Structure 1
Amino acid sequence: MHDGGSVAGHRLTGRVRISELGTWHDAVAPDGTPSGLLRFEQRLLADPAARDRLVAAVGADRRLQQGGHSGLLPVADLVTARGDVWLISGRRAMPTVAELLTDGGRTPDSGSAATILVETAQALLTVHAAGLTHGALHPGTIVIGEDGTAMLAERGLLEALRSEPTSVERDVAAWSGLARGLAASWAAGQSAQLLDRAAAMAATRGLSAARDTLLGGRDLLPAGFTTRERLVQTLHVWSAADVPTAPPPPAVPETGEMRTLLDPGVIRAQDPAGPGAPADGSGMRFGPGVPVDTTAAQIWRQGRNQSTQHTPDLRGHVSGPAAAGRPSKRRTAWAGSILLAILIAAVILWLRQAPGLALEVAKVDVQAPKKVQGCDSTAKIVAVVSTNGGAGTFSYVWEQSDGRKIHETQRVESDTKSLDLPLLWKVTGTGSLKGTATLRILDHTATGKPIQDKASFSYKC
């Protein structure tokens, strides 16, 4: 927990949620509007290059945002404050779809699920058109706004901090898994079949076709779903419920140590066009075989041209002839030789790297205690999940025969081919019970469909 009551003028409320990147805090902006702050885990920033990649990723989102593209959780700033790095969002960063999935007693309807899928598909299409990817799409990175709109959060951040390979295909597979998960959790009958068809369409024909499948099947969804009333009602109930909070921080005034990382010089230095790209942006391409000047390309070019030649670097120094003076020809030639060697080495390294393997869950094996459990005991049930060794995040749900459901997501690092998912089932009172626990893997399966296994134990007191 941060040691002060606010960061960059945003007052922390105490409500938090844990992310793969750090801790999200609910906050109130200086003008009184809701906001969100993500405090990154310091271990993820141990490599100086990770911070540079983070600045580049956040700067890319800012350019899309400034170009009028919605669908992403809006970024207000990226700052350092008292030894931590914070991402500040212009809207609340909670709840996520994962939090609403976990809250099984207040379930939105299939219309809400379809709305979320349509909006996230459209947002991903915009991201992909700009030559970018999300890289970590799952229920925990989709934020539901106060009006029921779905926004993608943490776009490109996991890839930036961990330097993990990603691709459009991985985003599409993750969206397909999301559709199947929502079909299993929030829909039934024809509505569930519609969401499953959209998932299959994404895998075979892409997100545009999947989105159109949902729009064309609106007659199979509950009446009035386009107003998002059911989803907004769920949000109101969620907001009033008990959620994870941190102790209220002491009211310590800001000390002036806060520094933004998104000044014009930083954004320009991390231009996605990369070193050596033409200054007019003519070397940029958005999509294979598309030589035309796309809207996304115009956005990137406008963002780059807004920077002047005399801009501060990461240390606050000013670049350009006025600050550095005119370099000698010998120095210029020497620097050019070094730069050329670095570029050649980088190209060789890039060519030798194999593309990252996408995560696929092959099977699951659930094991329960064979010994009869005694009075007031806790049965430990373990599911052994086998994968193909790829990196990614999958969603799963534990279902107990007493009606309890636990929805979670699990991050899997590359080269991990087996992991355990434990479940603790506490039973009290006199009598006997046969408890059955079922684990369902909702997405990223080898077959493309949810897979499951179950096991039972006996209790006697």
Structure 2
Amino acid sequence: MSTPPTQPTTPAPASVAGRALSDWSRDGRFGTWYALGPADSAEPPLGALRIHRALLAPSGARERLTAAVRAVAKLRLPGVPATVDLLREAGDVWLIVARPPARTVSDLLATGAPGLDEGSAASVLNETAQTLLALHAAGLAHGSLTPGQVVLAPDGTALLAEASLATALGGADASTASLQEADIAAWAALARTLGAAWAAPGTPAADLFARCSDTAGSDGLAAARTTLTSARATLPRDFLRRTALRAAAADALTELTEPAPPRTTEPAAVTAADSPAPVAPDEQRTVLGKRHRSEPATPLTPAPGGDEDEIVLRFGPGVPPSEEEALRALWAAPAPATAPVRRRRRRRAGLLGATAALAAVAVVLWLLLRPTAGPAVTAVRVTAPPQQLACGGTAEVTGVVTTDGRAGPFTYRWLRSDGQRSGVLTRTARRGEHEVALRLRWTVRGPGRFHGTARLQVLRPDTTPLEASAAFTYACAG
């Protein structure tokens, strides 16, 4: 791909869309990023990308940019900063997002931060892979992934800035297929870089990141992410807290919210080549049609008031809470304790009593912990609402698993057509329960039309999963 041109020397304005620009800025692949003051001073700053004017000069570039921004915004992915607006003002096109790209993984690699370790690397790699897979499933690509595009959210999760802009502004060689291949290669390089920087050489974690990189190149990104998530035992026990990444994100926010000195601008000459079209100095045009602030994504959480296995699948990044809690429970589980044996006066009787007690405990533990085959699953069916969902509607999807009536656990997962997955879940059937209901609530927000398909897979050892699916439609005029 060609190197993007530099931004003309036209100074940045003091404000955009009526909000003040801070003195902080950062060069991006497609323009310059600024921090933009929010409407409420209690809120964090927004991010404002001033698109390079030369990139918008080719015929159709603006239309492609608008289409790319809209396509990503409609997905409402948790791993992409939420789109607030796309507007033209005084000859410049600005992309406004929910947060500035600070702090980035590139910053952390350059300057370091206390506590960054293999757990930090695993979090970043898992979340970026999840976002890229969702983009690819929707027929999109990031296209220009580098450590400088990986931004930390306040909770330490990794977000991808400038997603899909390469599709619109990357030049004639920016086909979606080639950009998706570039995404996979970039992720593999990121795995190598973070493994070398944040994992001690020769450790199992360092080997894991190298294997993830190799797997991405040979078998694809989904296989690489599976390699990563299946080896959590090699990572620090508390890595899910993202302590070091949270601290780095908090430092960046403090930096951005410090009061800036008053800004003055000098009028500058702008040539016809610099400006795509004559624009009055105070003209402001919103490319998306209206300004909106996207609601923050809701994490994956159990449905309030529902069955214990009911899952609300929305847009939470990272490891689902159900998996996280199970992992922590496994780590925190104490070793089974044996009942104390009363001391006896006669040593022989004491030894016999202790032996009997230990034997009894062993039998009880074997009965409790022995593996159970669980019920045999014979059929799966899924139903979704037949009526069309309206704005902000929630699809109540129900799966019914038919069994042979034996008691025991079985595992399953939900897969959504937008690329989101529940992870592997477990449900225990009661004896005589021949039909087990599993529920999925899928909430959709925002204007537009959407066709969603939910697929339920019941996983069976040593054989193919049983599965079924159902679809629903959503329409919202805005």
TM-score when normalising by structure 1: 0.54
2:156 maps to 148
Deviation at 1:3, TM superposition (A): 4.5
State how 1:380-419 maps to structure 2 within 5 Å.
none
Deviation at 1:97, TM superposition (A): 1.1
* Per-residue Cα deviation, 1:308-328 (whole angstroms, up to 9, x for no partner): 7xx9xxxxxxxxxxxxxxxxx
Q: In structure 2, what is the Cα distance between the partners aligned to 1:8 and 1:84?
A: 12
* Per-residue Cα deviation, 1:58-115 (whole angstroms, up to 9, x for no partner): 01111112xxx32112111111111111100012321211121111365721111110
Q: Secondary structure at the match of 2:155?
A: coil
- Would the aligned equivalents of 1:144 and 1:150 in 2 still touch at CA under 8 Å? yes
Mapped pair 1:233 → 2:244: no
Q: In structure 2, what is the Cα distance between the partners aligned to 1:31 and 1:194?
A: 44
1:209 maps to 223
2:27 maps to 18
Mapped pair 1:302 → 2:446: no
1:64 maps to 75
State how 1:372-383 maps to structure 2 within 5 Å.
none
- Label 1:111 to 1:294 Cα distance change in 2 as closer, same or farther (>3 A): closer
Q: In structure 2, what is the Cα distance between the partners aligned to 1:201 and 1:250?
A: 52
State how 1:90-129 maps to structure 2 within 5 Å.
90-104=98-112, 106=114, 108-129=116-137
Q: In structure 2, what is the Cα distance between the partners aligned to 1:98 and 1:105?
A: 12
Q: For 1:11, give the aligned amino acid.
A: A
Deviation at 1:186, TM superposition (A): 1.5
Deviation at 1:221, TM superposition (A): 1.6
Mapped pair 1:136 → 2:133: no
Q: In structure 2, what is the Cα distance between the partners aligned to 1:258 and 1:59?
A: 19
Mapped pair 1:177 → 2:216: no
- Label 1:106 to 1:295 Cα distance change in 2 as closer, same or farther (>3 A): closer
* Per-residue Cα deviation, 1:21-66 (whole angstroms, up to 9, x for no partner): 111012221133221000011111111311111111101111112x
- Would the aligned equivalents of 2:157 and 2:245 in 1 still touch at CA under 8 Å? no
- Label 1:191 to 1:57 Cα distance change in 2 as closer, same or farther (>3 A): same
Residue from 273, 288, 291 that aligns with 1:262: 288
- Label 1:103 to 1:36 Cα distance change in 2 as closer, same or farther (>3 A): same
- Would the aligned equivalents of 1:3 and 1:249 in 2 still touch at CA under 8 Å? no
Deviation at 1:138, TM superposition (A): 1.2
Q: In structure 2, what is the Cα distance between the partners aligned to 1:242 and 1:79?
A: 23
- Would the aligned equivalents of 1:199 and 1:210 in 2 still touch at CA under 8 Å? yes
Q: For 1:55, give the aligned amino acid.
A: T
Q: In structure 1, what is the Cα distance between the partners aligned to 2:256 and 2:60?
A: 39
- Would the aligned equivalents of 1:143 and 1:153 in 2 still touch at CA under 8 Å? yes
State how 1:332-343 maps to structure 2 within 5 Å.
none
- Would the aligned equivalents of 1:24 and 1:39 in 2 still touch at CA under 8 Å? yes
Q: In structure 1, what is the Cα distance between the partners aligned to 2:110 and 2:220?
A: 29
Q: Secondary structure at the match of 2:47?
A: strand
Mapped pair 1:222 → 2:369: no
Q: In structure 1, what is the Cα distance between the partners aligned to 2:79 and 2:147?
A: 15
* Per-residue Cα deviation, 1:144-187 (whole angstroms, up to 9, x for no partner): 11211111111121231132323322211111111011111111
Mapped pair 1:47 → 2:47: no
Q: In structure 1, what is the Cα distance between the partners aligned to 2:416 and 2:113?
A: 49
- Would the aligned equivalents of 2:143 and 2:163 in 1 still touch at CA under 8 Å? yes
Q: Secondary structure at the match of 2:246?
A: helix
- Would the aligned equivalents of 2:55 and 2:169 in 1 still touch at CA under 8 Å? yes
- Would the aligned equivalents of 2:30 and 2:51 in 1 still touch at CA under 8 Å? yes
Q: In structure 2, what is the Cα distance between the partners aligned to 1:172 and 1:247?
A: 42
- Would the aligned equivalents of 1:35 and 1:93 in 2 still touch at CA under 8 Å? no
Mapped pair 1:75 → 2:83: yes
Q: In structure 2, what is the Cα distance between the partners aligned to 1:54 and 1:154?
A: 11
- Would the aligned equivalents of 1:26 and 1:94 in 2 still touch at CA under 8 Å? no
- Label 1:6 to 1:95 Cα distance change in 2 as closer, same or farther (>3 A): same
Q: In structure 1, what is the Cα distance between the partners aligned to 2:241 and 2:157?
A: 10
TM-score when normalising by structure 2: 0.52
1:159 maps to 167
- Would the aligned equivalents of 1:3 and 1:250 in 2 still touch at CA under 8 Å? no
- Label 1:129 to 1:149 Cα distance change in 2 as closer, same or farther (>3 A): same
Q: For 1:193, give the aligned amino acid.
A: D
- Label 1:47 to 1:107 Cα distance change in 2 as closer, same or farther (>3 A): farther
Q: In structure 1, what is the Cα distance between the partners aligned to 2:159 and 2:256?
A: 23
Q: In structure 2, what is the Cα distance between the partners aligned to 1:134 and 1:150?
A: 14
Q: In structure 2, what is the Cα distance between the partners aligned to 1:157 and 1:131?
A: 14
- Would the aligned equivalents of 1:16 and 1:24 in 2 still touch at CA under 8 Å? yes
Percent sequence identity over aligned pairs: 40
- Label 1:6 to 1:182 Cα distance change in 2 as closer, same or farther (>3 A): same
- Label 1:192 to 1:246 Cα distance change in 2 as closer, same or farther (>3 A): farther
- Label 1:241 to 1:186 Cα distance change in 2 as closer, same or farther (>3 A): farther
Mapped pair 1:193 → 2:207: yes
1:328 maps to none
